[in-house]
Amino acid sequence: MRNRMFSRILLLFLLCSSPPLIAEEAGGWQFDSLVNNPTGAKSDAQQVYEVLLKMLDRWNAHDIEAHLEAYWKSPQLLVVLDSEQFSGWQQLHDSYINGYPNRDSMGFITPARIQVKLLKPDLALAVTWWSISFPNSKLKIVGNTTMNLQKFDDGWKIVAAHSSTTDM
């Protein structure tokens, strides 16, 4: 267990401290928060990035309803958190509402890195590295999330996501 946690910490350190890569060298990522500085007209990759930033901002505001606006409101939404699976937007919603009756217990999330790659004009892959701290405890959770986002008439929405976490 200790070696597994050390390996995760080392991997997170290496990912967050490695020198920035230009998008082409980073495996075709069109947006990387360690490299890009959004200006001018917004590309689809930048729009996806902004959706993810808004989602994280809403988490920090402890606004579950607004946080969930980033997700596809469909029974076909798939979200996996470690080994727990949520099938459909409603199940995810209910889990958050029931899991955080005291919104202050949600903690505060800090993104370390966000990368976005367009797979098709209406489909994107995003990877985020983040940490959550809790003001009333020394507990800190670090993790990463891989998401598929689809472009709909009302904007980009997460249609599938998988998060892996570890306690620090």
Task: Give yes or no for residue 5 having a pLDDT over 60.
Answer: no
What is the pTM for the complete model shown?
Answer: 0.79
pLDDT grade, residue 25 (50/70/90)? very low
Nearest alpha carbon to residue 155 among 78, 58, 49, 59: 49
> Which option is the CATH number for 2-167: 3.10.450.50, 1.10.940.10, 2.60.40.10, 3.30.70.980?
3.10.450.50
What is the arithmetic mean of pLDDT over 105-126?
95
pLDDT grade, residue 42 (50/70/90)? confident
Task: Give yes or no for residue 80 having a pLDDT over 50.
Answer: yes
DSSP H/E element including 158: strand 155-167
pLDDT at 166: 92
Which tokens is 103 given?
């919104």
What is the arithmetic mean of pLDDT over 75-101?
96
| Percentage of the chain modeled with pLDDT above 90 | 67
pLDDT grade, residue 20 (50/70/90)? very low
Q: How many of the other CB atoms lie within 10 Å of CB of 133? A: 15
3-state secondary structure of 82: coil
What is the arithmetic mean of pLDDT over 19-28?
45
More confident position, 18 or 106: 106
Q: How many of the other CB atoms lie within 10 Å of CB of 165? A: 15
pLDDT grade, residue 106 (50/70/90)? very high
First to last CA, the chain: 12
DSSP 97: H
3-state secondary structure of 14: helix
Considering the chain, what is the average pLDDT of its residues?
84
